[in-house]
Structure 1
Amino acid sequence: MNAGIYNPVACYDPKKAVEKARLDERYKSLVFLWFEWKKLDHEYSAASLRVHKRIETVLSTIHHEHLNLGNAHGFLEAYRMLGYSDGTVKRDLNDIVACVNYWCKLGKVAHNPYPAIKSQLTPKKHNNKGRFTANERAIIIQSLGVNAYRDLVQFLFMTGLRPEEAIPLTWGDINFKKGLMQINKTYSKGDLRHNTKQGKKGKIVHRAYRLDKSQTDFLLRPSWEESALNEIDNALVFPSPKGTYINWGNFNKRIWKPLLTDLVALNKIRKYLKPYCMRHTAITNMIKRGDRINVIAAQVGTSIEMITKTYLISNDWWIDDDTGLDLSSYSDYISEYSK
């Protein structure tokens, strides 16, 4: 090779070319990308680890031709053939998309094909919108009998807390002298996080909930008074019958769903609603009694915009209300967020 003149043929190394081609081919395999991604230093919740275990079971089951990035549609059909619902597939695809995006950013993969196939999924819609009337709420609480689940349900109806926020509450989180309850952790699917839903990775978000008289009286009733006043830090306010965290999934499946299905059949309540609708009911009641929107949002841990758009602007939210509701005091919020 003459000095100063680049000769690509002279510089060509066939061994390196073969090795590069082999590596390039490996980066077309979802299996390779996934397990290399998992080697990185991530912090996963218990729920995420369960999802990953399912994904890895699928990767070991599906034929290798469907695991090539160029055959994303075949991958989706093979996933469905294993009997998973579209809701489950969509949840799993969130992590698969994150994995492939990582390699795209490094330049190892030219295109991530998996976001496109998510549009083909049609997860079952959950009836998570609606509210219970005061009479329905009383019937549900009474029908639960006397147990830890009844106490928790009644408290959720009163406060509008998310179930995962109320389940890990301890007596040490409640200051009766100041009338404040600290919402500083969540418990869901076996995973205890010292953060709230508003908190993200690297950002801890706690909030203080101001208790009204009815909520304080409920917590200070005679059967609980000793634990409440002594504020035993680690004692759960709503322990399961075994004294541990309540398993909300089991409660929903084994108690809530059968109970409300029966109550609907007996015409004691209008329709079946998910447990999350206890939160909708509580927020609705706060609006009905005239609480300020910014106060409601701060109490339940959401935004003013969400409160306004969900409960004030929706045309059918109050359609069955027979209390002579007057929303005129919220007209400024309705006007602002209706644009």
Structure 2
Amino acid sequence: MHPFNKDEILKILDNAKGNLYYFIYIMLCTGMRPGEIISLTWNDINFEKKRIAVDKTTVRGKIGNVKTQSSVRYVDIIPALEKKLKSLQELNISDTYLFISNYKKPFYSHIVIAKRFKKLLFDINIKDRNLYNLRHTFASSMITAGHNILWISQMLGHKDISITMKVYARFVKEDDEKRIENLSKIVLNF
């Protein structure tokens, strides 16, 4: 697991084009798995309730169940993502899937996108990492920013927060100022 840092993320987003750009952006804003993203339809996006229904994945051209039952979830649409999804919707030539291949069909797998991502990293001189590290980048950046661990765990589709903590605990940091502020809020009830 090697999350991208802020400078790398900005460089990636500045240089990604087309579907790859939107794919990367969705991963960075949701932590969704690549197979879940290529399976998304516009019916899964609810702009009114600001959430995405995640209940399927694509593996070798077959749309099926997500990784685990706890992976069936709603993923929140943060404001920055909402703007990008609406832009993608305006550009999209498919009224069904968010992402379609050059053949105007749903992607067979996320491998084509993963290869394009690796090429992008090579072209912009960023250390080679796989596409899944965008999921790790979402989780680690949200934890580092101090967002609610339960929310992060639910966004990732983890069964419970112990899984999230086991994988991402090293990103939980608190500076002395925040620690001291939190100490002053502790009240004993005995």
TM range, normalised to the smaller chain?
Answer: 0.7 to 0.9
Alignment map for 1:9-48 (pairs within 5 Å)? none
CA distance in 2, matches of 1:249, 1:225: 25
Q: CA deviation at 1:226?
A: 8.7
CA contact (8 A) 1:239 1:245 kept: yes
Q: Decide whether the 8 Å contact of 1:168 with 1:185 is kept in 2.
A: yes
Q: Deviations over 1:102-146 (max 9, x none)?
A: xxxxxxxxxxxxxxxxxxxxxxxxxxx11101221121222222x
The answer as to 2:121 corresponding to 1:260 is yes
Separation in 2, partners of 1:276, 1:187: 15
Distance 1:226 1:130, change over 3 A: closer
Aligned to 1:138: 10
Equivalence for 2:186: none
Matches within 5 A, 1:312-327: 312=169, 314=170, 326=174
Q: Is this contact kept in 2: 1:171–1:236, CA < 8 A?
A: yes
Q: CA deviation at 1:241?
A: 2.5
CA offset digits 1:197-251 (Å, max 9, x no partner): 113xxxx962111212111121123x62497xxxx9x611122222222332233
Aligned to 1:249: 111
Larger radius of gyration: 1
Q: Gapped runs of 5+ residues in structure 1? A: 1-128, 319-324, 332-339
After TM superposition, the structure 1 = structure 2 runs for residues 97-112 of structure 1, keeping only pairs within 5 Å, are none
Normalization by structure 1: what TM-score? 0.47
1:56 corresponds to which residue? none
**1:172-251 correspondence runs (5 A):** 172-193=43-64, 195-199=65-69, 206-221=72-87, 224-225=89-90, 235-246=96-107, 247-251=109-113
Structure 1 letter corresponding to 2:149: I
Q: CA RMSD of the aligned region, Å?
A: 2.6
SS of alignment partner, residue 113 of structure 2: helix
Q: Flag the 1:148–1:241 CA change in 2: closer, same or farther, 3 A.
A: farther
Is 1:158 paired with 2:29?
yes
Conserved? CA contact 2:27–2:33, under 8 Å: yes
Mapped contact 2:20–2:117 kept (Cα < 8 A): no
Q: 1:175 to 1:258 in 2, by over 3 A?
A: closer
1:165-215 Cα distance to aligned partner (Å, 9 max, x none): 11110110111111121001101222210x21113xxxx962111212111
Conservation of the 8 A alpha-carbon contact between 1:149 and 1:240: no
Structure 1 ranges of 4+ moved more than 3 A: none
Among 157, 163, 166, which residue is 1:309 paired with?
A: 166
1:213–1:198 CA distance, 2 compared to 1 (3 A): same
Higher relative contact order (CA 8 A, sep 6+): 2
* Identical positions, percent: 27
- Look up the SS of the partner of 2:58 in the other structure: strand
Structure 2: give runs of 5+ residues left out of the alignment.
183-190
- Change beyond 3 A, Cα 1:134–1:251: same
SS at match of 2:120: helix
Aligned pair 1:149/2:14, yes or no?
A: no
Distance 1:251 1:219, change over 3 A: closer
Question: Do the aligned partners of 1:171 and 1:235 also contact (CA within 8 Å) in 2?
Answer: yes
The answer to whether structure 1 residue 275 and structure 2 residue 131 are counterparts is: yes
Amino acid aligned to 1:218? K
Give the aligned partner of residue 167 of structure 1. Answer: 38
Using the alignment, how far apart are the partners of 2:54 and 2:42 within structure 1? 12
Corresponding position of 1:48: none
* Aligned-partner SS, 1:224: helix
